[in-house]
Amino acid sequence: MADTYWGPDFDALRDTDPEIADVVLDELARLRGGLQLIASENLTSPAVLAVLGSALTNKYAEGYPGRRYYGGCGEVDRAEALGIERAKALFGAEHANLQPHSGAGANLAAYAALLMPGDTVLAMELPHGGHLTHGSKVNFSGKWFDTVGYPVRKDDELIDYDEVRDLALQHRPKMIICGATAYPRLIDFARFRAIADEVSAYLMVDAAHFIGLVAGGAIPSPVPHADVVCATTHKVLRGPRGGMILCREGLAQRIDKAVFPFTQGGPLMHAVAAKAVALKEAAQPAYADYARQVIANARALAAGLEGEGMRPVSGGTDTHLALIDLRALRITGREAEERCDAAGITLNKNAIPYDPEKPMTASGIRVGTPSVTTQGMKEPEMRRIAALIAAAVRGEPVAQQVRELTAAFPAYPSP
């Protein structure tokens, strides 16, 4: 029939390219047969997957709704406009841009909108939890800008806001960044706002990791305090891989121009539409329950690992992730990652503050609970997962136990 929906068709893929079809099936089997504990990963809904595999991928749409450089954009305009309004409503933002292809791309656009090459930026040091785009010398942020890093304290591994203020007064940055990839505690956005105001700096919040917790009302929002909030739409938010920027109305035009035409060409309209779907899902009451459970699970997992002799950095977590110091077990993060991977437990090695090891070896691991929470697991399962991780790290065979656990909470369960 003419009005029949034509979307993802696995039979067509299998007939055209059986090798890639096998990759898709094998990845699904990996997800279903193991524990996904990468803090920056999640399982999107079937609705999000459907949009990603739809005919929207065909449309070229340089520009913004109502202001495109190509014809035939009426339908994709509707999708992007819906997504923008949903983002603004969900986060209480004055302006939203859903076009960045990634979180790093969103950060690049923020730099481009607010700074000139050579300007000074104050951000969390990478070895202490910061992101590549916060000043790494191999990244645009470290090559094009004068970046100054703030550490966490040695005694409690928390941000020292007095030291941040001292560094800001000393270096007078044009922009201050708060947010991290491996910092398990809440960030005092109001305190950062006050420091930024004192030195007349922009405040950018990199909320890539925790924006989904904000969407669910599980942690405080940075939006009222920041000039610009950059985020990803995957991770806890459970949408497609991609980026998003929220900002004050006075910066809207600068942000939009920094995304297009300065850093990107045509947006990925299937991804933009999928972001709109995820934002609608995140506005539902069930998602708020999910966000709170993600944190409860992370705390239970951190406590369970502590009971197995693994020290949670900063003593625990307030978010979706925990950073675990393995030095008491005399094992490196890389070794732990490899042993867990062999058991069907996917997590990542990670440097800990003041780590004596090199980053590719690391003294710690990072664990996150977005995916297992999406699968329906709660605190009892987190305690079991902690025991499985500990056993895997010790070299014990636990792959069968992992498969038994995931079978009870399958990823993408069959109808």
Cβ-proximal residues to 25 (8 Å cutoff; 6+ apart), any chain: none
The answer to whether the annotation marks 75 as part of a ligand binding site is no
Parallel, antiparallel, or unpaired for β 228-232 and 202-206? Answer: parallel
Query: How far is Cα 405 from Cα 388, in angstroms, rounded to an integer?
Result: 10
Query: How far is Cα 78 from Cα 278, in angstroms, rounded to an integer?
Result: 16
The answer to whether the annotation marks 379 as part of a ligand binding site is no
The answer to whether the annotation marks 131 as part of a ligand binding site is yes
Show the tokens assigned to 288: 């708020």
Query: How far is Cα 366 from Cα 373, in angstroms, rounded to an integer?
Result: 16
Nearest-Å Rg of the Cα atoms of the chain is: 22
* Residue type, position 350, single letter: N
Q: What own/partner pairs with CB < 8 Å and gap ≥ 24 does 303-306 have?
A: 303/386, 304/382, 304/383, 304/385, 304/386, 304/387, 305/367, 305/386, 305/389, 305/390
The answer to whether the annotation marks 101 as part of a ligand binding site is no
Query: What is the tally of helices (H) and strands (E) in the chain?
Result: 16, 15
Sheet holding 228-232, edge to edge: 95-97, 243-247, 228-232, 202-206, 175-178, 120-124, 146-150
CB of 205 closer than 8 Å to CB of 179? yes
Give buried/exposed letters for 317-341 (b at 16+ CB in 10 A, else e). bbbbbbbbbbbebebbbbbbbebbe
Active site residues: 60, 62, 206, 232, 235, 241
The answer to whether the annotation marks 85 as part of a ligand binding site is no
Q: Which residues are annotated as a binding site?
A: 126, 130-132, 249
Q: Which residues are annotated as a binding site for (6S)-5,6,7,8-tetrahydrofolate?
A: 126, 130-132, 249
